[in-house]
Amino acid sequence: MGVIIRATVAVATVAVTVLTSGAAPTPSPGTVRCGATLTSSTTLTADLVCRNSDVGLRLAEGVVLDLGGFSLVGPGRGFGTAVTGGYTPTVRNGTIRGWNTGVMSEEADGGGAISHVLVTNTRLAIGSSLGGTATVESSTLRGNDYGITTFQSTATVTDSVLRDNGSAVVVGSDYTTVRVQRSTLRGNDIAVDCEGGSLTVESARLVENGTGVRVDPFMCGADVVDSTVSRNEVGVSSSSTFPEGLGLLLERNVFRDNTVAVDLQWSATVNDNEFRGNATALRTRTSTDPQWGPVVVRVTANDFRRNGDAVVIDGLSELGSNTAVRNTGVGISAPGATDLGGNVAWGNGVEPQCVGVVCAGRPGA
């Protein structure tokens, strides 16, 4: 990420450079103190250590804080906010560590633009709420209780690394939209937790997490596409969601070496994915909900090879054009399925090779 860590200055005042709009940095004789409100875009020239401050720096509207490769250090992960502002606190090029919250907007319609920043050892790295917009790009959120949380707001995470957090991304409610693109989420308890709203995970890597993506009951619609999901305890899981127009789409992903790759309890579409080396590739535990109607999992054009169990579906499903080959356990077991045709299964460890659908066998056999 190119973050430069320099020797800590154990005082709460540092020299700064003030940035004038459209101009190169201009030296300034002024200083910035912990708790100050910055009214001009500013670049730090040394670490700013705030041992006795509830707020590191407040940014007025439109102000950019350039950390200059240095660190904004707090009194500990249970105390204070590093950077806050009424509208769009924008922070770049350095490290924020040792705060209760790294970057947070104070008012509705606020947010944060975070670029090339390491946020570590906080309770919450970045917060966005009540109509705010948060943009995180080319940054690292590491070792926090929560990486980025959203509530009735919008957030985009691109080209970033979120690792070793409790929950790396939390999609908190309806009227929330989160997009995670071209990012790596590794070693988190939960990489992405969608409790409500809209989630898109695209061209991402979810590796060695407890759960890669968890979709919870309250009105979450989630798409996971063109991503690699590997070596997680559970790759993607869903419990119930209200089915009026929301749901879960898994498409063109690679699921590799997970304990359970996909674990579903509600309607979902699983299309054109590759499953390799998972202890269990796809399992569902669904039922017809008397209030909301039938729960149906649609599984099409997937390739299941050399897993333990490939497809184990308990409930209603639609299956077509799937291939299950040389799995050590079950090939396809879907007793409540609607057979869309084109399924293939052979060389799996459990007979019959298919239950609930008709499968072609080994070519030429």
The CA-atom distances, in angstroms, between 261 and each of 190, 201, 257 are 14, 16, 8
Calpha distance 298→320 (Å, rounded): 8
Calpha distance 224→248 (Å, rounded): 8
pLDDT of 217 higher than 60? no
Neighbours of 61 (CB within 10 A): 11
Tens of pLDDT, residue by residue over 146-192, are: 999 988 888 999 999 999 999 999 998 777 899 999 999 999 999 99
Tens of pLDDT, residue by residue over 83-140, are: 998 767 899 999 999 999 999 886 666 667 899 999 999 999 998 876 678 899 999 9
- What CATH code is assigned to 98-360? 2.160.20.10
Domain boundaries, the chain: 98-360
* Longest CA–CA separation in the chain, Å: 83
Q: Nearest to residue 299, comparing CAs of 325, 279, 324, 276?
A: 324
Tens of pLDDT, residue by residue over 308-317, are: 999 999 988 9
Which range has the worst mean pLDDT, 204-208, 283-287, 314-318? 283-287
